[in-house]
Structures are given as C-alpha cells and as structure tokens.
Chain A
C-alpha cells in the first residue's frame, strides 16, 4: 500500500506537466499583450476546447521549440496562400464539424474558390486578396452572433470596408472604394447601422460571404428579390425586363442604385424631375412610358391625398372623444392598399396597379365619410345634451318655485 502511494506521488509532477500548455507558457513570455497567446482565450475555438496544436500541430507538453518542430504533424504558421486549406482541414470535414458545431456549413472552401477573392488567390497568388483570417481575424475569432465579432451583422460593413474603402490598397484593382460610404447613407445602411436592425442586409446578404462576387446584371433581380420578392417577380414579368436585358441595364440598380439605395419615394415616379422614369423615357421615344409614369404617379398621389384627408377627419373625431376603432383599422387597410399600389409600380402595367389604387381611394372615402358621421354624431350628442339639460333645469326651477311657495 505504501509503495503504491509512493509511486503515485512520484507521478503527480509528470501528470501536472502533461496537462500544461507550454505553447502559451513560452509565447506569453515574448509576445505583446495583444499577441495571439494573450488574446486566444477570447477566441471561439478556445471556448470550444480547441487549442494551439489542433491547428498548428506539434506537442503542447514539450518545452523545447526545436523538439516541437520535429513532432510529426507540426504545421507551424501557414502562408497567406495556405490559410484557406489550413482552416478547411476542419471546416470542410463534415464528420469533424458535426462534433463541434453541427449547424455550421462545411462548404466554405468550395465557395471561396468561386469568389473573386479565391480566384485571385489561387490563380495569381495575390497576397493582398482576402483569405479567411482577413475577415474573421485570427486568434480572437468570434462567430456571427457575437457582438465583438468581425462577422457580426453590425460589423460586417466595416470588415469589408477595411480593404474596400481604402483607395490606396484597392488602387491596383481599379474598382470604386465608396461602397461603405454609400452604404452608410442608404436605407439598408441606416437600418443596420443606425437603427441596429439585425435583419437589415449587410454586404454579405447581397454579395454572399465566402463566395463573394459582384452580382451580374442578369441576376440582380434574384439578389434583390431574396427580400423584395414581389417587386422582383413583378419586374421579371414586366415589359421592362426584356428592355433592360437588351440594353444590359442592371435591373433594380438602374432606378434604385446599388450601395446607395435610398428610401424610395413617390417622387421617383412621374414625368417630371426628380423622377427616374425621365432618365430613359421622353415624349418622343415612341413608347407610352412617360404617359404611364404620369398615370402611375396620379394614382399614387390620389391615394396619398385621400389618406391625408381621411387622417385629418379621423383625428378630429378622435379628438372629440368618439369611438373610432373601426375607422382606425380601415385606415390601416388604406396603408396596406397604398403599399400594394406602390409595389405594383414594378409591374409597369396600369391594369395591375389601378385596382389597388381604386381600393385605397374607396377606403379613404369611407373613412372620411364615417369620420364626418362621427363628428356629426358628436354635435348631435351635444345638442341632445343641451336640450336634455335645459329640460331638467326647467323642471328643477319649477320644483324650486313650488318649494318656495310651500307654507
């Protein structure tokens, strides 16, 4: 028994040393505070129990770096070109990933190879082009749900903008560097970055992430149509679809711009500036384009004006304390009809659009008429009250006189 205890005591230092991560022990000695060994504890891999040797190979229990380099499977630090394959060892291994993060796709490398980034890396050995760690960072990596992560939706525009809004860095590629600036001004950018709406699109929602590429003119409707499905469907069926394809105009972008997608307004339609229709159409272009644009605008303005009048009438009825719940609901139906009317602009067909506009107008007329009825009812009540009150007061006065005459 005593011998057994003695042997166990002898083995304790061995067991302790075996469990120690000598990579961190040594690297923390000579690295700065923001060096890999110091920041790795914040990395999503570290939090999942994946250590230095799982990526870099070697043996963490060894103290001598020369001995580490001799260990079979030691991979050390990958070159810029080697990084995608380095990460893909695990991330393209479905069996391995199932044990760590079954929800994560394993096709990142395949997609990356189809991206502009991947193509330039593998074809030209371009050392400036983005690889995995350019976007995901390294040793302090987070997933898209972590607010500090470079791939969190709120951070993605700045992650991409690190390179794409740097004119000096991008000079040799001959592409614009105002995307981030434009995106920040756009309806999407304001929703994402100012209103902190995580559902608003970031760069990767249109350009893809690992397979990042600029969408071509022919597939732009599909890209925008991911969210704006009805508009895209109407456009594809519209006469503009063929005309745009013929002239090689990008579908949505031609009217709405791309990174600088501003909030659409009714002013975009019509036969006068700042309408976008007049960029292509004129009175003498041989089409009914301008005429239709003018009619569209007239329809929309009709519903908008009707809605405003109905709103004013309803507000007055509300202020007078009348029961207006039904009319408030009806006004919401007007909003819905207005949205549908505006959406139908993408059909560029008056027959498709006018039923929604007519419905919206009819609803606004009903709200106005009913609100006016409620206001009339209010005055009727007041008059009724006045009469009733006068009658009661006269009775009270009569009774008072009677009381005064009592002996």
Chain B
C-alpha cells in the first residue's frame, strides 16, 4: 500500500518536473549543476564565507520587511514607531535584534570574504567582474548600515549621522551640494530620515539585487577559484567535491550554525554588546547637547579615526580633504587589484600587492582599536 502511494508521489513529482521542463528547459541546468565541482584544498573553508554573507542578507531582507510593517519614517514618528516595535509588537524586539545583529554580521562577513579572496588571489583573471561586483556589494552593505543607523531617530544616531554626513561636505567641488542632497537640507532633520529611509528600503535593495545577481551568476558560471599554485599542478593531484549535493549540504550546515549563533546573540543581547551596541535611548533632539563621545559604527571607525588624527593641513590641502583623497585613491587601488597584479595568473607570488593588503589590514585594525581606546 505504501509502495503504491510512493509510486504515485514520484509519478506526481515527475509529472510536475516534466511540466516545468517542457516549458523552461531546466534539464540543461540540472545537467550543468550535476557536473559542477568545488576545489578541495587547505583553504576550501573560505568558500563558505560568501554563502554566509548571502544567508545574512536574506535574513536582513526578511527581518527588514517585518520591521517595515510597523516602522513610520518621520521626525515625529520614527522614534515612536521603533519604541512601539520593541515594547508592544509581539516579538518586535526579536525582529529588531535579529535585523541589527545580522546587519553587523553581514558587514563583518563581507569584509572577511573580501580579505580571503584578496589573500588567496581569487580576484585574478578571469574573475575580475566577480571581484568588482563584490567590492560594490560591500560598499552597498556599508551604505545600508549608514542609512539604517539614522532610522530609529535616537540621540546617538542623530549626532553620528550629523558627523558622518558632515564629512561629505569636505569632498572637493561637489561637497556642499552633496551634503544638501544627502541631508535634504542644511542640517540633519526629518527630511534626512525620508531620504535615508528611501535609500535603505528601495534604492539600496534594488542596486544590491542587481549586483548580487551579477556576482552569483559569475560565481556559478566560472566556478570557485582554484589556488594559485594549482596552475602547475598535475590534474591527478587536484581534488574536488561535487557542488551538489556535497557543497550545498555543507553550506546548509554552516547556515544552520550561523542561524543558531544569530539566535543566541539576538536573545541574549537584544541591544547589542560592547562596540556593537544599538540601545534606543533618548529621542533625537535637534537642539540638544551632543553626547560626550560620538562614535560611528565599528566598520566606519578606521576611516573616522584616521580623519580625526590628520592635522589641520597637509601640504596645501585641508586635513579632511587630504584624508578623503587618500581614502579614494587607496580604495581605487584596492578595487583595481586584478589589473595591478600581473603575477598570480602566472602562478607567481605578487609580493608588492600582498604587502599592500597586509598594510591595509593592519591600518584598519590599528585605527579601529585606537578609535575605541581614545575618548
């Protein structure tokens, strides 16, 4: 009886599959997937970082949609609605905690993913587009964080956004206009919430989806990057595992572990902990006294601290302007690394490029630590 039922079920699935395949020709895709492999070597664990970041992004989307049902942008309603979410809405506190924790973990994951790609030289040809789209996705992640930080319209967010957007004013030529466009006026007001909200829930998700599609399509089409020294390795010594189901199952296992960690963090520390902290606190007061210490989110701390430490003038340039130019040049060099590194495609070690990478990591870590140590 059960065998008969099972036969019926299989027949039903098979019929459904055939119905779809006859219209969308997915047989070719399944065939392609079944031959896809993932290289196996000592750094294979890094292949899961992109998946983790993607998983956290999906959680961001889901929790963000839930928050959107109650959040009301505006100087008179933003703070009140967030307060309502965390105090009155059933499990609202959990949704906000998950959204905030997954945002921070996503940025962290994206950073680690980028650095592992950099130091394993996975950016090299023919994966330039994957690298560029990845850099773009990280920039969007950080912009997501910056725009989302203001939305609760609390005291800390207000002053941090005022300082953060104020830096845009130092950009040469367009600085003043850029500042006004970002803030929706001279100062950070209710108009700024409107802009940041639009950016956070419409423009950035749209841009992110486009870039993410390109990034994933490139990864799927080109496969995972193999280690540099595999160029000269005999095929017989190279090891692989099947993408499906071996890699997919492992990816799912990592996602479950990340989900468990996220749940623990969100329930035990709903307002964050240490430098990753988002208590609602007091409502923003446009004429209030700024808190003694205004700090940006941790992933902006290195830039914030570096700009703070610059002297008033460097040569003939204003210190802040010099810093912005230096960061722009540094960022451009970082993004252009697939073109600057000509050695790794030939299986050689690009020492200068790697030294630059080490310098960037040390600079970011040092400035972040100093930023938190110095009041």
A interface, CB within 8 angstroms of B: 321, 323, 325-326, 381-382, 384-385, 388-389, 392-393, 395-396, 399-400, 402-403, 406
- The answer to whether B246 and A392 touch across the interface, beta carbons within 8 angstroms, is no
- The answer to whether B263 and A388 touch across the interface, beta carbons within 8 angstroms, is yes
Supposing A385-B263, A392-B263, A396-B260 touch, asked if A323 and B86 sit within 8 A by C-beta, the answer is yes
Supposing A395-B256, A403-B249 touch, asked if A385 and B264 sit within 8 A by C-beta, the answer is yes
User: What residue in chain A is nearest B253 (Cβ atoms)?
Assistant: A399
Which of these binds chain A: B123-131, B217-225, B265-273? B265-273
Q: List 9 additional A-B contacts (Cβ < 8 Å) besides A325-B87, A396-B257.
A: A323-B86, A323-B93, A381-B267, A382-B267, A385-B264, A392-B256, A399-B252, A403-B246, A403-B253
Q: Closest 9 A-B residue pairs measured CB to CB?
A: A385-B267, A396-B256, A392-B260, A323-B87, A399-B253, A403-B249, A381-B267, A323-B86, A392-B256
> Can you list 18 A-B contacts (CB < 8 A)?
A321-B270, A323-B87, A323-B93, A325-B83, A325-B87, A381-B94, A381-B267, A385-B263, A392-B256, A392-B263, A399-B249, A399-B252, A399-B256, A403-B246, A403-B250, A403-B253, A406-B245, A406-B249
User: What residue in chain A is nearest B87 (Cβ atoms)?
Assistant: A323
Min Cβ gap A111→B in Å is 42
**What is the bound-complex CA distance between A396 and B83, given in angstroms?**
35
Min Cβ gap B282→A in Å is 10
**What is the bound-complex CA distance between A165 and B229, given in angstroms?**
96
B interface, CB within 8 angstroms of A: 83, 86-87, 93-94, 245-246, 249-250, 252-253, 256-257, 259-260, 263-264, 267-271
Min Cβ gap A234→B in Å is 36
* A382 proximity list for chain B (CB < 8 A): 267
Min Cβ gap A378→B in Å is 10
* B252 proximity list for chain A (CB < 8 A): 399
Interface centre among B83, B86, B267, B270, by most A CB within 10 Å? B267
- The answer to whether B267 and A384 touch across the interface, beta carbons within 8 angstroms, is yes
User: What residue in chain B is nearest A385 (Cβ atoms)?
Assistant: B267
* A392 proximity list for chain B (CB < 8 A): 256, 259-260, 263
- The answer to whether B263 and A402 touch across the interface, beta carbons within 8 angstroms, is no
* B256 proximity list for chain A (CB < 8 A): 392, 395-396, 399
Min Cβ gap B188→A in Å is 24
* A388 proximity list for chain B (CB < 8 A): 263
* B249 proximity list for chain A (CB < 8 A): 399, 402-403, 406
* A395 proximity list for chain B (CB < 8 A): 256
User: What residue in chain B is nearest A402 (Cβ atoms)?
Assistant: B249
Min Cβ gap A381→B in Å is 5
Min Cβ gap A55→B in Å is 47
Supposing A389-B260, A393-B260, A399-B252 touch, asked if A406 and B246 sit within 8 A by C-beta, the answer is yes
Min Cβ gap A373→B in Å is 12
- The answer to whether A396 and B253 touch across the interface, beta carbons within 8 angstroms, is yes
* B257 proximity list for chain A (CB < 8 A): 396
**What is the bound-complex CA distance between A8 and B183, given in angstroms?**
68
User: What residue in chain A is nearest B257 (Cβ atoms)?
Assistant: A396
User: What residue in chain B is nearest A392 (Cβ atoms)?
Assistant: B260
**What is the bound-complex CA distance between A287 and B14, given in angstroms?**
98
* A385 proximity list for chain B (CB < 8 A): 263-264, 267-268
User: What residue in chain B is nearest A388 (Cβ atoms)?
Assistant: B263
* A400 proximity list for chain B (CB < 8 A): 253
**What is the bound-complex CA distance between A392 and B263, given in angstroms?**
10
User: What residue in chain B is nearest A395 (Cβ atoms)?
Assistant: B256
**What is the bound-complex CA distance between A402 and B248, given in angstroms?**
12
User: What residue in chain A is nearest B94 (Cβ atoms)?
Assistant: A381
* B93 proximity list for chain A (CB < 8 A): 323
**What is the bound-complex CA distance between A174 and B298, given in angstroms?**
74
* A406 proximity list for chain B (CB < 8 A): 245-246, 249
**What is the bound-complex CA distance between A381 and B91, given in angstroms?**
10
User: What residue in chain B is nearest A390 (Cβ atoms)?
Assistant: B260
User: What residue in chain A is nearest B271 (Cβ atoms)?
Assistant: A321
**What is the bound-complex CA distance between A403 and B257, given in angstroms?**
15
* A403 proximity list for chain B (CB < 8 A): 246, 249-250, 253
User: What residue in chain B is nearest A396 (Cβ atoms)?
Assistant: B256
**What is the bound-complex CA distance between A99 and B94, given in angstroms?**
69
User: What residue in chain A is nearest B250 (Cβ atoms)?
Assistant: A403
* A384 proximity list for chain B (CB < 8 A): 267
**What is the bound-complex CA distance between A393 and B250, given in angstroms?**
14
**What is the bound-complex CA distance between A389 and B265, given in angstroms?**
11
**What is the bound-complex CA distance between A403 and B256, given in angstroms?**
14
**What is the bound-complex CA distance between A321 and B252, given in angstroms?**
32
- The answer to whether B264 and A389 touch across the interface, beta carbons within 8 angstroms, is yes
**What is the bound-complex CA distance between A392 and B260, given in angstroms?**
6
**What is the bound-complex CA distance between A384 and B270, given in angstroms?**
14
* B268 proximity list for chain A (CB < 8 A): 385
**What is the bound-complex CA distance between A347 and B26, given in angstroms?**
88
Min Cβ gap B65→A in Å is 20
Min Cβ gap B360→A in Å is 35
Min Cβ gap B156→A in Å is 16
* B253 proximity list for chain A (CB < 8 A): 396, 399-400, 403
User: What residue in chain A is nearest B249 (Cβ atoms)?
Assistant: A403
Min Cβ gap B59→A in Å is 13
